[in-house]
A = this chain, B = another copy of it.
């Protein structure tokens, strides 16, 4: 087993550092054992200012001391040349060009943006699910003619919550035939200023632009395989996903109501598992990030609750410091096999936390 004990400090750059995802990156990295915040990038409007003045800080803990006076730079690769790795919390409207410019300058980029998730040679990695997709990096480097750079994306926040228990079940019972999911998503997922309070107080908004399409497609890539000798992804082909996405007046934590239909043919003995077996499979699930002892890996990738009215965003989102998915209410479905409810912390595992843990795995795999 590799050890993280003797990792020398690695210089980290953060793109989109003043935004909500950027702020989470700063918090997660401020006490990291070997990643050290070294450079911060934001729009031209912020560039040149100390971070404490450039950012409209909206976190419940203050800006880390060592970050307050870092002078914000523009998001250009030459400003980040001495960084070992760059995390991107950029908005989608600028992330495409900027991240590509960094990649072409041979910089390793971990992106939270959606722009390259569908790129056929860019892995879309949820760190407690499919770190095996790093196997495509050699091919990606070759394709772009890179020595040490690469780009890895993490998934949409709602997708992230969903694929963790799906992966645990798929490992044991094969890919599901059908997944119907309805989300109740927190406002922090929309960034700042994000959702106007007049739209969400005493209200639910049954629409989040592009979210349903993301969930329905990303699941298939994440739960698929690296194929063709590490040069492509094969998506799940016999699994159907249908998502309905809603915004609710919750600060952090996406809750998802899920119905699942197993494929009997791929279940051991062609038998649909019992509820108890489902619970046990979820509880027993472990992933590479855990076996590598990554510092940000959760002790339990899935926290199982047996209480009738859990998980709940306010009570369960901090489980495993936000890096776990909490699953409960496994019960029979009149139409499919089972229904269950899951909760993911959308700004930790669902965003910046994924990138950080992804990068730790990359270190262990010798990619950084």
What residues make up the interface of A, taking CB atoms closer than 8 Å to B?
58-61, 178, 180, 182, 184, 187-188, 192-207, 216, 240-242, 244, 246, 248-251, 255, 257, 259, 308-315, 317-318, 328-329, 333-336, 339, 341
Question: What are the 9 tightest A-B residue pairs by CB atom distance, in nearest-first order?
Answer: A182-B182, A193-B196, A207-B309, A244-B257, A203-B314, A242-B334, A197-B197, A182-B257, A206-B341
Residues in chain B near residue A241, CB distance under 8 A? 334-335
A178 to chain B, nearest CB (A): 5
**Chain B residue nearest to A341 in the complex (CB):** B206
What copy number does this chain have within its complex? 4
The answer to whether A312 touches B198, judged by C-beta atoms less than 8 angstroms apart, is no
List residues of chain B with CB within 8 A of the CB of A197. Answer: 187, 194-197, 199-201, 249
CA distance A309 to B318 in the complex (A): 27
- In angstroms, how far is the closest chain B Cβ from the Cβ of A356? 22
Across the interface, do A315 and B58 meet the contact criterion of CB distance under 8 Å? Answer: yes
Would A242 and B194 count as touching, CB distance under 8 A? no
Q: How far is the CB of A349 from chain B (nearest CB, A)?
A: 16
In the complex formed, the residue of B with least CB distance to A261 is: B335
Given contact pairs A184-B184, A193-B196, A216-B334, enumerate 20 new A-B contacts (beta carbons under 8 Å). Answer: A59-B315, A60-B315, A180-B180, A182-B182, A193-B198, A197-B249, A198-B251, A201-B201, A201-B250, A201-B314, A202-B313, A203-B250, A203-B312, A203-B313, A204-B312, A206-B311, A244-B257, A246-B257, A249-B249, A249-B250
Contacts of A259 in B (CB 8 A): 180, 242, 244
Residues of chain B within 8 A of A205, CB atoms compared: 309, 312
CB-based contact B188/A198 at 8 Å: yes
Q: How far, in whole Å, are A71 and B246 apart by their CA atoms in the complex?
A: 34
A164 and B257 CA atoms in complex are apart in Å by 23
Assess whether B194 is in contact with A198, with CB atoms less than 8 Å apart: yes
Min distance, Cβ A343 to any Cβ of chain B, angstroms: 9
Contact A250 B329, beta carbon cutoff 8 Å: no
Q: Can you list 14 A-B contacts with CB-CB less than 8 angstroms, sorted by A residue number?
A: A180-B180, A197-B200, A200-B201, A202-B202, A202-B314, A203-B250, A204-B250, A205-B312, A206-B310, A206-B311, A207-B309, A240-B335, A242-B335, A248-B248
A312 to B244 CA separation, bound complex (whole angstroms): 14
Assuming the contacts A196-B195, A196-B197, asked whether A315 and B203 have C-beta atoms less than 8 A apart, the reply is: yes
Measured between alpha carbons, how far is A333 from B242 in the docked complex, in Å?
6
